[in-house]
Structure 1
Amino acid sequence: MYSTSLLFRSLAAGVLFVFFTSFFSCNEKKPSYVDAKDGDVFVSDHLIPDSNFLGDKVCAECHKGESEEWEGSHHDKAMQVADKNTVIGNFNDTTFTSQDVKSRFFTKDNGFYVNTEGPDGEYHDYKIEYTFGLTPLQQYIVKFPNGHYQCLRTAWDTEKNKWFDLYPDFKVIHSEWLHWSRGGLNWNNMCSDCHSTNVRKNYDQATHSYNTKYAIINVNCEACHGPGKNHVNQVKELGEQYKSTESMWMTSKTPPKTLVDQCARCHMRREQYSSHFNFEGTTLDHYFPQLLTNNLYHPDGQILDEVYVYGSFVQSKMYQNDVTCTDCHNAHSLKLKFEGNALCLQCHEKPKYDVSSHHFHEIDSEGAKCINCHMDGKFYMGNDYRRDHSFRIPRPDQSLKYGTPNACVSCHDDKTNEWALDHFKKNYGEPDSNHFSDLLAPGIAGETNGYESLLALAHDTIYPNIARASAINNMANYYSADAIENMLQFLQDDSPLVRGATLDVLGEITNVDYINYFLPLLKDEKRSVRVKAFFALGNLNSQQVPPEYKEIYNKVKKEFETHLRVTSDFAGGRAKRGSFFLKQGDVPNAIKSYESALEIDNQNNIIRTNLANLYYRNGQLKESEEAFKTVISQEPEFGQTYYSYALLLGEQNRNEEAIEQMELAIKYMPDNIRFYYNLSLLYDKVNNLKKAETTIVKGLEISPQNGDLLYVLAYIYQKGGQINKARNIAKQLIELYPNNRQYMALLNGLSGA
């Protein structure tokens, strides 16, 4: 399934300018690097002919039992042509209204139709071309011009037999990216790759059009096992000598973690790197997963937004101990292999775990079920309950500290986290703090020791690689020269997830100080990591590339261009191209790329803010101001925009206007110390020293030992002739920061006054 939350829009933006001032491995084993002269080490973009996919009827000739299990499954019904046999919803001239949009469902000329609001804000009749999914909801797909196919926001609840809004509390206007007729619910880029077999998106940015193709409409046998033509031919040729591992994916002999990797491509939220999936290489040669970050996961790593299963499962001890998808799920019907606790008792001892002395609930009650304590979940898309697959012990202590969910109060919704923690301690003692979340959560939450916690997590290879990679990803919030130096070592980590995450952070460096650290990763064994390395080297032009890297550089450049092309129907993909232009010093083309990104998602204010800063950098002050005003009109309570706008006005000596905007910045973000610093300087520019002083004092109430604020206060006192006060502040600065030469010079200057 796909995600259409506001959070995804921020994720799709994908780019915030990060300016560093100046970032080896935990494992002694070094990552594998490819040989630039060996063409076979690169996973190709070879197209598999549709004729190589023979269809489920051919598979059933030899695999009747498996085929019968698959028939009627979610994979089988992933997508179907809309007709009287496949449409479940009520199209008997019925209406449904949500967020002031009225949709009427009806039939005409043996077809199924909806009359609803279109991309122009007007109502039109749309024919239903395809059904999407089976239970607990079925969606419907409409054909639009230029090869676009769109999924209706109104879906059919197959359990309650009624129409419902997938996002009932979320108002979307027709011009927004998240409107059903636009990018957020576009089948071609959000859904097709995982709901059909052998998909080629075929997007053309110049015309904003698709020519999407697939071999088979649904997720058939060959979507998982690979094209059947060679397999059938080999079986005929070799007979009993044939081995399934010779030509097929996901067999009974596939190693556990390899199987998870092969399932992952459709069961994880990810960014695409290849033009299409062709069963070559591994998942990281085609996609890179979204890591455990704010807005996608809770600070402890539990699911928050629609992230599917992979990112949770690889956090778990189950995964670390070679439990795989098919240990719990029938690979063909997708149903659980056993009901109730019998599923978990395949591995866990019944006398130890399936007893009241372990779970403290009545036997056979809901509270006694393993999954209700260790697989808490939440509803997505209105009625689709999905469980967190990290299999964690409830931690009400973390809920109290970080606002994370726990299964105790999810079930006992009339109780508090304090109650849950008291009962936890009574039954189990103090919570075991040897889980990676005890290091990840402080870093994500921005605690005082947050950076140290993230660094410790990144170093400790006992923890899951996705947690270690996520620690590095979140270290981007702690910019410093030391942080950069500490990160450099992870470029040589044994885990490609960790190497990729490190490149994502360090790749935003805008100077050439670290190119020698990035160049070797052009030879990384995983395509997604190589492409990230190429982006990190964006400061170089081809003439500056060392001779020994020329050949590999040119090869990875093609992979990078493929990545940009395949993501160019997302605002984030276009913004990434803009960021690459910016790294190369090409501001005009960077601006064009960001403007192009806003053509896709006009509400994306991460991109618009970056564009406003680029306009300013390029001397386009009017355009910069208009961009900031647009952001403010769309998000009037976001203080950072007022701050940026105030700086723009201040640079133009429009000081009174700048003061007004900076005051608003403080109103909406009263804890941001930098706002007080800059507002005080603005008051100084208009010679209002009294206001400058009171502003700094307010800032010091929040951060009493802040050197920048104290220095400005000393300056204000000095300028106002209050030398003794200025001298006292300077002495305080020296006591706090005895090695700071600037503060020492201030005191010396005041001593002679």
Structure 2
Amino acid sequence: MTRRRVAQRLAPRLAQLAALFTFAACTGESTPATDATTPLSTAALETPVSPPASAFAGTESCASCHAEQSSAWRASTHGNAGGIPGSRSNNVRVIAPFNGAPIRFADATVIPRQNAGRYEFVVQREGERDTSYAVTGVIGGGHMQGGGTQGFVTNWMDGSVRFLPFDWSKDSRTWFCNTGTRTNAGWQPVTRSMRLADCGDWPPMRILGDEPRFSNCQSCHGSNISVRFDDTKKQWRTDIASFAVNCESCHGPAARHVQLMKQGSTSADIGLVALATLSKDESVATCMGCHALKTRLTSGYTPGAQLTDFYSVALSQLGDTPFTPDGRTRTFAYQEGHYASDCYRNGGMTCASCHDPHSQGYRTVTGEPIPGRVDDRQCTSCHASKRENVSLHTKHPAKSTGSNCVSCHMPYEQQHELGRAIRYGRSDHTIAIPRAALDSSLGLVGSCRSCHATMSVQELEAQTRRWWGTLKPHEPAVAGILAARGNSDVATATSQLLHPTSRNAMAQVAGMAEWLDRFAQPRMESVPATLEAQLTQLADSPDLDVQALALATLHYTRGHDRGVRRTLEQHLEQAPRQSALRRRWAMVLGGLGDAAREAGNTAAAVAAYRAALQVIPNAAPLLVNLGLAHAAVGDMPSALSAYRASLQSDPRQPLAEVNVGVALEQGGDLEGARGAYERAISLDPTLALPYLNIGTTLLRSERAAEARPWLEQALARDPGLATAHFQLALVFVQSGELAKAEQSVKRSLALDAANGEAVKLLEALREARR
């Protein structure tokens, strides 16, 4: 039977299915949003200062004068954090086996191999050509005691550098992938029962560098990483000084320092900030640029800039609650538990109090080197009284593991979001007191059960009480959050969650974040009597994140009240760093809008976005999200108005043009929609969505032959678009290319197994083949 006759016999079945198929245009992603009526401030936002590329001298310029520090750094985990495999100038030890032994998935075989000195992964799938991905960078070297891994990146066709989904676990000696965005099973070893598309980073989509257009890991896996769109070449440009963490990552730009030293300058100005002279907060912030979860406020950060102008650390707690009330890691985090530690809040502990910044070895508070993390001197150099009779304090034999300070106060805890299949434990930097019952109630293993796994929580808690009696109470802000669990009375919970006099900024943010999540509504008429006073007092905090969250909460819930409005205006007028405060404030409100929009509460979303636009009028990303909120309920005129206002504020937004096209198309203006999609392509030809939407429009108009090249162009830019694979399958059906149609619909289902229309089409195609 000819291909045409098969297609003709299949036509009635496909006609029935066609009524079920949807050809919805895809909207562009966006970043947090709002809308303006009467602005709280009309002052222009200041652009934070960041050192230019010319200010950096490179690591090699440091070695001639600082030989000892340079040598220590080269042997350290920072010096060996990554590199280019096979490169003499920036080599790295590859611990994963690139020996040709296959990594077998259910639907693919991946060959890690070396080919003419080049490391690569070759992906083989039935009925498809082999595809090779060159490894252009190695991330990590399995250095960490709690579980070491190594990952790999490749140069992508659009100029970005993307993570490959094939990672190696040194401890498990196995290949694994992160299933987070697909099956949500965490990190899983690759097995024959796992599909390639179960890996969340397949096809490669997560980039190296901090660009919100893409899923990304910010700019921590290397030095001085920048990603920007080149308007001349019409593609992305990624610059990476090194895959290692180099000197200037911590010390900042050194070109001026090098110049002054070469000139023999004897001035007190050495052209570089001496890190040893920094305050406690400044010193910790130097490390938290990479060792903390961060929320991006604006673009352009490079080492040497003020971190808090570009990022917020504490506000990463909003929405996701990555930490427990006392600051320990609940999902996945880094070392920002340090901020919740009593040793930091009420003492002088910085990262360098325990870690040598050059060798990454351990040391005492006075700088004396010690062999490793289990040497108690890193703690007893401050807590001298615990040194005299160790067993009196620990209740364990002096030379036992149970008497090591870190065993009880800094235990390794598996990162919960990653699951337990691949070992990846990280030390608890809150330096908490062991509390077996509390730890268990928070979903943590805790230090007691990590050693005494056969004992019940009740037994461990009872033993703790027998040995130490009543434990030190939590700081009030932490105790309040714990007490508020399960409390539905808003007045009582308000007094428990809001603590203006606390010195624990992380807990203050956590408490306000929980209040927002559980109780906040726009324009609340009835609120607890103490709410406004407590939030106003919190807005006077010296911490920018606490200030911003308090003001945003007041604004969202009571911003319609004239007295509250005056309070908000006064705080902006008096703020010494108004721009940094406004960015945080608007980000909180935009996040509330996003959460409400995702929950289908359009009225609350619009209210939050409009409030945020009162803080930063005409903010382009906020206007886009406001448009999406209107579009979600079919209010296309309002959506178009918001999108166009966004483009007026910033004309170089291809995703906003995509959203304009979708709104016009849904209003029946196909010609106008096509124009918007083409404007998006002219702004950024690497963006897949406008190609997809043009192809979708043509397919809906029964112009399948014309749709095909547009859909193929979309997939060339983003092979992870399940919708594009599905619609290309429909194109092939209409042209009678049923084998290609079946292959395309299988690709679609591999990426989106829940697409019922694709399932029906595949069944129909298989029926025709039979």
With the shorter chain as reference, the TM-score category is 0.5 to 0.7
Alignment of 1:331-730 (within 5 A): 331-337=357-363, 338=370, 339=372, 340-349=375-384, 351=386, 355-380=390-415, 382-399=422-439, 401-435=441-475, 436-443=477-484, 445-448=485-488, 452=492, 455-456=495-496, 458-476=498-516, 477-479=518-520, 481-482=526-527, 485=532, 486-506=534-554, 508=556, 512-513=560-561, 515-522=565-572, 524=575, 525=577, 527-534=579-586, 564=621, 575=625, 578=628, 586-588=638-640
Say whether 1:109 aligns with 2:116: yes
| 2:318 maps to 1:268 | no
CA spacing shift, 1:454–1:174, aligned 2, 3 Å: farther
SS in structure 2 opposite 1:502? helix
Deviation, structure 1 residue 353: 7.1
Query: Could you tell me how far 1:363 is from its partner in structure 2?
Result: 1.7
1:132 is matched with which residue: 119, 135, 139?
139
Change (3 A) 1:442 1:456: closer
TM-score by length of 2: 0.61
Secondary structure at the counterpart of residue 252 of structure 1:
helix
- In structure 2, the partner of 1:698 is none
Look up the match of 1:48: 52
Other-structure match for 1:700: none
Correspondence for 1:712: none
- The size of the alignment, in residue pairs, is 545
> Is 1:152 equivalent to 2:156 in the alignment?
no
CA apart distance, 1:505: 3.8
Tell me the residue number matched to 1:330: 356
* Contact 1:172/1:178 (<8 A) preserved: no
- Residues 1:313 and 2:338 aligned together: yes
Q: Secondary structure in 2 aligned to 1:343?
A: helix
SS of the equivalent of 2:220 reads helix
Q: Deviations over 1:167-194 (max 9, x none)?
A: 1079997778933434456566433512
Residues 143 and 150 in structure 1, CA contact (< 8 A), matched pair in contact too: yes
Q: How far, CA to CA, are the matches of 1:148 and 1:172 in structure 2?
A: 28
Structure 2 residue 182 is the aligned partner of structure 1 residue 178 = no
CA distance in 2, matches of 1:511, 1:214: 44
- Identity level (%): 20
Shift of 1:114: 0.8
8 Å CA contact 1:157–1:163 kept in 2: the answer is yes
Q: What is the CA-CA distance between 1:164 and the residue it aligns to?
A: 3.5
Q: Deviations over 1:111-156 (max 9, x none)?
A: 11112379x9986221111111122222111222212322223222
CA distance in 2, matches of 1:421, 1:593: 59
CA distance in structure 2 between the aligned counterparts of 1:57 and 1:169, rounded to whole angstroms: 39
1:393 is displaced (CA, Å) by: 0.2
* 1:258 aligns to 2:282 (yes or no): yes
Residues 453-509 of structure 1: CA deviation (Å, up to 9, x unaligned): 564453253441111121111111123632563534433333212112224545555
Check whether the contact 1:88–1:158 (CA below 8 A) recurs between aligned residues.
yes
The structure that is helix-richer by fraction is 1
Aligned to 2:70: 67
Give the counterpart letter for 2:341 in structure 1.
Answer: S
Shift of 1:520: 4.3
Indicate the SS of the match to 1:105. Answer: strand
State the alpha-carbon separation in 2 of the partners of residues 16 and 275 from structure 1: 16
Superimposed CA distance per residue, residues 319-376 of structure 1 (whole angstroms, 9 cap, x where no aligned partner): 1211111110010121222232121111112555761121111222221111111112
Q: Assess if the C-alpha contact under 8 Å between 1:107 and 1:113 holds in 2.
A: yes
The offset of 1:394, in angstroms, is 1.2
1:168 to 185, 188, 193: 188
Letter in 1 for 2:482: A
The structure-2 alpha-carbon separation of the partners of 1:292 and 1:333, relative to structure 1 and needing over 3 Å to count, comes to same
| CA distance in structure 2 between the partners assigned to 1:504 and 1:478 by the alignment | 14
Q: CA, structure 1 residues 419+155, in 2 after alignment: closer, same or farther (shift >3 Å)?
A: same
Whether the 8 Å CA contact 1:284–1:526 is kept in 2: the answer is: no
Flag the 1:68–1:374 CA change in 2: closer, same or farther, 3 A: same
**Partner in structure 1 of residue 763 of structure 2:** none
CA distance in 1, matches of 2:197, 2:174: 28
Q: Alpha carbon RMSD of aligned pairs, Å? A: 4.6
Q: In structure 2, how many angstroms separate the alpha carbons of the residues matched to 1:403 and 1:138?
A: 28
CA 1:192–1:522 in structure 2 vs 1: closer, same or farther (change >3 Å)? same
Give the secondary structure class of the aligned counterpart of 2:546.
Answer: helix
> Which 10-residue stretch deviates more, 351-360 or 338-347?
351-360
Q: Per-residue displacement from partner, 1:659-691 (whole Å, max 9, x unpaired)?
A: xxxxxxxxxxxxxxxxxxxxxxxxxxxxxxxxx
- Contact in 2 for aligned 1:291/1:469 (Cα 8 Å): no
Residues 202-261 of structure 1 deviation map (CA, whole Å, 9 limit, x = unaligned): 1589999632223444321111111111112233456333355xx324522222221002
Paired with 1:344 and 1:182, the residues of 2 have a C-alpha distance of 44
Contact 2:627 2:638 in 1 (8 A): no
Residue 235 of structure 1: aligned partner: 261
Q: Distance in 1 between matches of 2:469 and 2:71?
A: 49
Which of 69, 78, 81 is the aligned partner of 1:78? 81
Deviation at 1:424, TM superposition (A): 0.8
Determine the C-alpha separation between the residues in 1 that align with 2:248 and 2:331. 30
**1:27-76 deviations in whole A, cap 9, x for unaligned?**
xxxxxx99969x9xx45355502x32222221111111110110032222
Say whether the 8 Å CA contact 1:52–1:228 is kept in structure 2. Answer: yes
AA in 2 matched with 1:285: D
Contact 1:203 1:209 in 2 (8 A): yes
What does the per-residue CA deviation read over 1:409-445, in whole Å, with 9 as the maximum and x for residues that have no partner?
A: 12211122111110011001123333343222233x3
Greater displacement, 360-369 / 271-280: 271-280
Do 1:98 and 1:168's aligned partners in 2 also have CA atoms closer than 8 Å?
no
Alpha-carbon spacing, 1:333–1:362, altered in 2? closer, same or farther (3 Å):
same
Is the CA contact (8 Å cut-off) linking 2:96 and 2:168 kept in structure 1?
yes
- The separation in 2 between residues aligned to 1:286 and 1:229, in whole angstroms, is 23
Asked if the contact 1:394–1:407 (Cα under 8 Å) also holds between the matched residues in 2, the reply is yes
Which residue pairs with 1:663 in the alignment? none
Task: In structure 1, list runs of 5 or more residues that go unmatched.
Answer: 1-11, 18-32, 540-552, 566-572, 601-610, 616-633, 635-753
Q: Which runs of 5+ in 2 are unaligned?
A: 1-28, 35-39, 143-147, 179-186, 364-369, 593-612, 647-653, 656-661, 667-721, 723-770
Using the TM superposition, name which of 233-242 and 72-81 deviates more: 233-242
Residues 112, 56 of structure 1: CA spacing in aligned structure 2 closer, same or farther, 3 A cutoff? same
Name the amino acid aligned to 1:391.
I
Please state whether the residue corresponding to 2:244 is helix, strand or coil. Answer: coil
Q: Offset at 1:105?
A: 0.7
Contact 1:577 1:590 in 2 (8 A): yes
C-alpha distance in 1, partners of 2:210/2:554?
Answer: 32
Q: 1:36 to 1:376 in 2, by over 3 A?
A: same
Counterpart Cα distance in 1 of 2:310 and 2:261: 29
8 Å contact from structure 2 (residues 582, 615) kept in 1: no
Deviation at 1:295, TM superposition (A): 4.6
